[in-house]
Amino acid sequence: MKIAVLPGDGIGPEIVAQAVKILHALRSDGLKIELEQAHIGGAAYDAAGDPLPDATLKLAQQSDAVLLGAVGGYQYDTLPRAMRPEQGLLRIRKGLGLFANLRPAMVYPELVHASSLKPELVSGLDVMILRELTGDIYFGQPRGMRKLENGERQGFDTMLYSESEIRRVAHVGFQIAMKRAGLNGMAKVCSVDKANVLDTSMLWREIVTEVGSEYPQVVLSHMYVDNAAMQLVRAPKQFDVIVTGNIFGDILSDEASMLTGSIGMLPSASLDANNKGLYEPCHGSAPDIAGKNIANPLATILSVAMMMRYTFTREDVAQRIEAAVRTTLQRGLRTADIVEAGMKTIGTDMMGDAVVQAL
């Protein structure tokens, strides 16, 4: 297992270091794991003048999987758009052909009271949000800024999807739902769009419906994105797999993070057509807490579990890691973002050590 390790910026190096501890522990158990580290984001700009140096992209392309921390920082906000850390993330996704972003939102029984919603609404919650990653308004052309005849400035972006982009991510959504059916009893996909307003969404709904006809054992429903946002906080357990476009998925998956008690608990996987993946926590670089040893590393550690499940097809190892996280939570150990009365608050390093011990 050749894994490219890209710590990135802010809390990235701290949380990735804890995930690397897990990989070292697995290697000592006999797994053949090879790790190589490189820069991305602001750290790469500082080191090489580019948020995604050629050497980093080459390493990622030659590796079986990529473990990434986070990118971004206040000090980079004044850089030209092409040099900002976030462009490194967009470019590596494009360079690796990653189009399917898997973001699970699961509530551990030990954290049910950490959610901002009532326990009965989130207890047992297990939702998978599948976000298309390479199309939509983030990549559509034309885009830019211009001056109008009256001298007023105008910004513009283009929401754009091709039939093939929609079709391939829809297949992934239905296939994931079928795999989860054994756990949840029923295979369900909810496709989220804005087909009452947007031509792009009209095409999205048409293509997803066509693909759904190939999976008669999966129950397909459609929902407008504004209603989906409301339903996620009204009755989140009605969902199983949500499949949606890039911008809607970006927003909904962050909303779903608060159902779990903290975005620090949410891992993610971005996959290509062959299940090669880039694995990262859903949260950002959190520069305000960087270097303070208080960040929650569990989302990054759980991203390693997803790596074992989806890229290396080692479900046994994935379950071991997830069980170790659960054991650590059962012991009452918490980072500051998920701590409750009577629990012990520990730092980033100690949380990593505790999961290794449980593993």
Which are the catalytic amino acids? 138, 194, 226, 250, 254
Q: b/e map of 73-84 (b: 16 or more CB within 10 Å)?
A: beebeeeeeeeb
Contact between 113 and 227 (Cβ < 8 Å): no
Helix (H), strand (E) at residue 345: strand 344-345
With vertex at residue 229, the alpha carbon angle to CA 223 and CA 230, rounded to the nearest 5 degrees, is 95
Interatomic CA distance for residues 144 and 19, integer angstroms: 38
Q: How many CA atoms lie within 13 A of 120 on its CB side?
A: 0
What amino acid is encoded at 40 in this protein?
Answer: I
Query: 3-state DSSP call for residue 51?
Result: coil
Rg from Cα positions in the chain: 20
Query: 3-state DSSP call for residue 200?
Result: helix
